């Protein structure tokens, strides 16, 4: 679910995974439900109070003290990007420093709901009016499980210099982070020519 678009502010919080990132939420404000028992040492969190959008929402919520590791409702607010995300150790999570990112978010205590969070939109039945209701087709969002492998070819000659080489290397690293590269997801290859 972390790579899919997630609707926001339904009647019940949207159930997310431990590793759903802020960039997976495309609304200014969203209520989500973090599961319990997430592995604290595996959270990827950048910043403190205001987090880079590549951070885990549940990790940021535990880091900020909004929820414990037993999970719970969280409200996510999208913010513009910024510079100098600080590294802070809080609530068992060591956040990482990041010099700059294009989008941010912050988290607060979510509103608990008596309804079960199913991760699906909640609909209500309308009384019959004598007219046939027009059925609107669901938008197809694509295959969430489709993995794309990417290869980068970078110039490793001495002509570009150490600074430009490091810029290329950092760019590839950030792309890999954005795509959620790992053993379970897509893979990235790097060829130095």
Task: Please report, for the domain that includes residue 93, its CATH number.
Answer: 2.170.130.20
Q: Are residues 19 and 98 in the same domain?
A: yes
* Token pair in block for residue 62: 């535990």
Average pLDDT, the chain: 78
Q: Is residue 126 part of a domain?
A: no
112: pLDDT strictly greater than 80: no
140: pLDDT strictly greater than 80: no
The whole-angstrom separation of Cα 17 and Cα 8 is: 15
The count of structural domains within the chain is 2
Q: Are residues 90 and 175 in the same domain?
A: no
- Report the pLDDT averaged over residues 43-51: 93
| Domain span holding position 42 | 14-109
Number of Cβ within 10 Å of residue 135's Cβ equals 6
Q: Is residue 125 part of a domain?
A: no
The whole-angstrom separation of Cα 132 and Cα 138 is: 18
| Boundary of a domain, candidates 109, 136, 166 | 109
pTM for the whole structure? 0.56
| Boundary of a domain, candidates 57, 87, 109 | 109
Tokens 């290869």 -> residue: 151
pLDDT score for 125: 47
54: pLDDT strictly greater than 60: yes
Q: Are residues 89 and 158 in the same domain?
A: no
């Amino acid at each position: 679910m972390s790579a899919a678009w997630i609707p926001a502010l339904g009647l019940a919080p949207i159930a997310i995974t431990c590793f759903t990132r802020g960039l997976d939420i495309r609304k200014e404000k969203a209520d989500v439900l973090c599961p319990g028992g997430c592995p604290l040492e595996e959270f990827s969190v950048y910043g403190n109070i205001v987090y880079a959008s590549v951070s885990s929402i549940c990790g940021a919520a535990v880091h900020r003290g909004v929820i414990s590791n037993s999970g719970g409702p969280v409200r996510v607010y999208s913010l513009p990007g910024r510079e100098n995300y600080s590294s802070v150790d809080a609530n068992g999570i060591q956040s990482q420093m990041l010099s700059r990112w294009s989008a941010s978010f912050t988290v607060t205590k979510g509103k608990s709901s008596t309804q079960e969070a199913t991760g699906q939109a909640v609909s209500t039945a309308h009384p019959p009016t004598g007219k046939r209701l027009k059925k609107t087709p669901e938008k197809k969002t694509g295959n969430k499980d489709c993995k794309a492998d990417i290869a980068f070819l970078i110039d490793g000659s001495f002509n570009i210099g150490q600074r430009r080489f490091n810029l290329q290397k950092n760019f590839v690293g950030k792309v890999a982070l954005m795509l959620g590269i790992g053993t379970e997801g897509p893979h990235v290859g790097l060829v130095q020519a």
